[in-house]
Every structure is written in C-alpha cells, then in structure tokens.
Amino acid sequence: MTATISLESIRRSLGDRYVLERELGRGGMGTVYLARDLRLDRPVALKILLPEFAAQSGLRERFLRETRTAASFSHPNVVPVYAVEESDDHLAYAMGLVEGETLTQRVERAGPLPVRELVRIMKDVAHALAYAHGRGVVHRDIKPDNVMIERATGRALVLDFGISRSMTHAVPSSSNLTRVGEVVGTPEYMSPEQASGDVVDGRSDLYALGLTAYYAATGKTAVTGESTQKILVRQLTEPVPSVIDSRPDLPPALAHAIDRCAEKDPADRFPTAEALVEAIDAAQLAEPEIPLPVRLYAGELSTLSLAVLIILSLMWAGAESQRHANMTLLDIMLPVTLLLAILVTRVLTTMSEGRRLALAGFSAGHVMEGMGRVMAERVTRREELRADPETRRRHRMTIIWALAMLVASLAMIAVGLSMRVQIGPMMYRASPISVALVFAGLGMLGTSLVLLAKSPFRMPPTERLFRLVWLGPIGRGFVWLSMRGVHTNDAVRRAPARPIVRVGSDSRSQATPAPRVEQLRPTLLPHAKPSASTRDPLAALEARVGELEQWRRSRGD
C-alpha cells in the first residue's frame, strides 16, 4: 500500500471528522498532518501510523489500550491526546497542536542551547516524566524529535507517551526504529537495558533524557555508529563521553547531572525524575522568573527616559529660538511651563506604578534585580541571534541592500540638485523631476541609515540609556522614592496569595550575579508561613502541576 493510497483512504474514512491540510513531519511510526477537527472546530496534529501497525490484532488492541492511557494525561508539559481513530486499514490519533518546533529543529536552526534554556527544557521534560512514571507509564522513546518547544512561551512538551511501548511486537519498516528481541526505540537514545530487552523503568527514560540534553548542549549525538547494530553495541558497552569535554562552559553541576543521567548502570542514575529536578534546583542552576509587573515597570521606565530626553530637548530648542527672536520672558515661559507640566505628570504616574509594586509585595531590591534580569535576557537573546545562521545571513543581505540604497540615494540627490537652474543669489528653479529625485533620494537615505545603524547583534541606544540611568544610582533612588511610605502591613494585605514561582535559567550567561540558595526556593510573602508543599518535595511537585494545569485551562488550551 503506497503512501498516496493510504492517505486517500484516510481522507475517505475521516472526512466527516477531520480535514487534512498539510504534512507536518514523518517518523518511523507514521506521518503527522495538520488537520482540523470539524466537530470541535479546532486545529489538531493527526498522526497516522504505518499500515503494518493496524494489521495485527494483538498490536492494535495494545496500542488502543495504551493510547487511551496517554489520553487520560493532563499535564502542561505533555502534548495531550484528544482521540483515537481506527478502521480496518489504519490507526490514527489526534493530539494537541503545538505552535513551535522540535528540539532537533531548534538546535539545527540556532546551534547548541544556552545554559538557561537547556536547564528549563531539562526541568520541563523531567516534570513530564515524573508525572507519567507516577502513573506507571514509561515513555521509552525520549529523544530531541519528541520534545516540542512552544514558540510563545519556550515551554517544552513531550510527544508520544505510551506509543513506543505499543510497538514492541511490530516489525518496523524504517531505519529510524530498531528491534532487538521485543524492543523498539531510537538506537541513538536507547538505554542499555532497553537495548538488551530487559525490563525497563523510569530510569530508562532518564538515560534517554541525558543523551537528549547532551545533544541540546553540544549539537552532537553522543552515541552514533555506522549501523543500528554498532550503535546498540556502543549503548551496551561504551560509556557516554562527558558533556563537559564538548561544552566546557557548562556549570559543573549541570554537566554532572547530564552525565549521571547517562550512566550505563540504572543504579548509578538519578532514582527518579523528581530527584533530577531537585538536584538542578539544589545546585543553584535555577534563577527566579521575572514577574510580569516588574517587566511592565521596566518598560514604563524605558518610556519615561525617552520622554524626558524629548521634552527637555524641546524645552531647550523652544527657549533658544524664542530668545533669539527677542520675545519676552512670558512668551518663553509659556511653552516651557506646558512641557514641564507634562514631564512632571509623566514622572508622577511612573512613581505611582512603583507604589503599586510595593503594595503587591515587591521590594526595591526585587524590582532592581528583576530589571537587571530583563536587560540580561536581551543580551542572551542577541547571543542566540548571533548563533543563528539564518539570522546572520539575513543581516548580511540587509547590510548589502542598505549600502546599495545609500549609494543610490546619494546619486539621486546629486542628480536632482544638478538639474536645478539658478535664477538669482541663493535662488533656484527646479523641475518636478529634480524635486522628485531629491525627495526620493532623501527618503532612501534615511532608510539606509536606519538599516545600517540598527543591528540585532548590537545593543541599541535605548538599552544603553536604560542601563546608564535606571540600573544605576538614579534608578535605585527613583524606585526607593516611589515605594517610600508603603508599610509592610499594607503590602502583606494587598499582596497576591500565591507565591512567586521560580523556574530554571542560566546564571552564567547573565549580567547579574548568581542567585543565592535561599533565592531558589519559592519566595513567600512577608510574614507568610511556609506551606506543607514547600516542606515536602513530592507535595511541591503536585502543587506545581496543579498550578500549571489551572493556568493552562485558563488559557483555553
């Protein structure tokens, strides 16, 4: 049965439920299509399995049973399974559509991940594994292709829970999968016990996560070979090279966590996925997430600094022009007073935003630290863009076009001016063509200068101004003055009930100091007693899952 005939039969059998729009990708088990669920009127990712998986009744029943188990999962780091579709000729299942890219695509596009992003993805995948392992499900096929990175949030989600286990009696038709005894998986990320056909548990997934993190950190596959058999032999006999050898800038604690996941003996790995998350947190590999109010306040201060510059410039220019025009003091002070009133009002409204932060429970130190992290994020973003070959290529093309526009604009202006006819001292008569050439040349000149000055790899002047003003003594004084007079009791009464949740990031790549150990724990509000979830790691994990699920439902996912 060819792929075309199979697709036509799928369209005939699913025409009343799904409309296939385009292919999203192919794998060893089947093809994924972008489809629209007609009954619920929403886009889904429809995975159509290879025909041989539908031909065996035992395999079919096991696949349906375990896919139903995966469909019962509800976790923000697991791509949900919505429905299973079957007929005599095919098996398919619909899952949530993630707007983003796989970890493989991310590394191929932009190179090895920064430490901050690597830590976040490891923790997200570990949380998903902890959730599944707690329900008796082992993934068995963790790999970069099965980790999706959501474009809007950077959140990592795991694909295909329970599917690999369903394939244990199949005879694969793709070199992307292999079979040893009753084992199917991806050889490059397969644990030794899985490769040898032994019984596996959650530590097998941790081994695959370690090799996946190795790939994300270095851009290279840790275990490779000329054939499937040679790869499996290496998985069984050769130790995985230490990630620090290929990525020396990794924090030692992070490199140790990756190496420990990739130990050959399951007893030498982390006992659980929760233990991996706890080790990452305890090693100070996590930094606090920047709260949204602090991000907005940083934007407010950036706007204020630009407004101050513009208004002061206008005041000076207006005063100078009126002074040279021999105007009275009253004539000079009228526009200056107007602009000064606008400036003072703008400063006071920004100070009121700082007071709201204080009432929400933020201290001046928290705000300054958060603004520093906002600036550090921009540095990291420029580093990521600099490592992206596509961004570099587009920037080179932009520079070439800008230089061409600059030369063309100067030539147009010169030609336009040369077409003028002098009719007197400092007086010229210009034809419509010469006027059009000069105006078009000036427009192109301005565009070319902006394109040449602006670069995604350089710090813009507005950011330099923000760092100079708001991250220094002036900024600290302004924030302190804005929050002055807000009493602690008022802040506690007005503060949100939920603690600020902190997530993983890279402290080494930031311009701010590494967080202290106490900063890694959830920051409780003043005088708040620690809850049971902060004392019990397992309870803390369940609490985090509950909060994230509530957030996901509130977004309508």
Identify whether 141 is a catalytic site residue: yes
Report the phi/psi class of residue 492: left, alpha or beta, with left for phi > 0 and alpha for psi in -120 to 50: alpha
How many C-beta neighbours within 10 Å does residue 7 have?
Answer: 16
Specify the residue for token string 């040679």: 230
Give percent helix, percent strand, percent coil of the chain, each to the nearest 5.
60, 10, 30
What residue has token string 């993630």? 98
Residue 498's H or E segment, with its range, is: none
Q: Name the active-site residue from 141, 160, 259, 281.
A: 141
Extended beta strands in 181-252, E state? 183-185
For residue 477, give the DSSP letter.
H
- How many of the other CB atoms lie within 10 Å of CB of 331? 12
CA distance 13 to 121: 38
The C-alpha atoms of residue 223 and residue 220 are separated, in whole angstroms, by 9
Instruction: Specify whether the CB–CB gap between 272 and 285 falls below 8 A.
Output: no
Cα 505 from Cα 218, distance rounded (Å): 17
| Cβ contacts of 60-68, under 8 Å, gap ≥ 24 | 60/86, 60/91, 62/166, 62/169, 63/91, 63/163, 63/166, 63/167, 64/91, 66/137, 66/162, 66/163, 66/165, 66/166, 67/93, 67/162, 67/163, 67/166
| Residue length of the chain | 557
Give the active site residues: 141
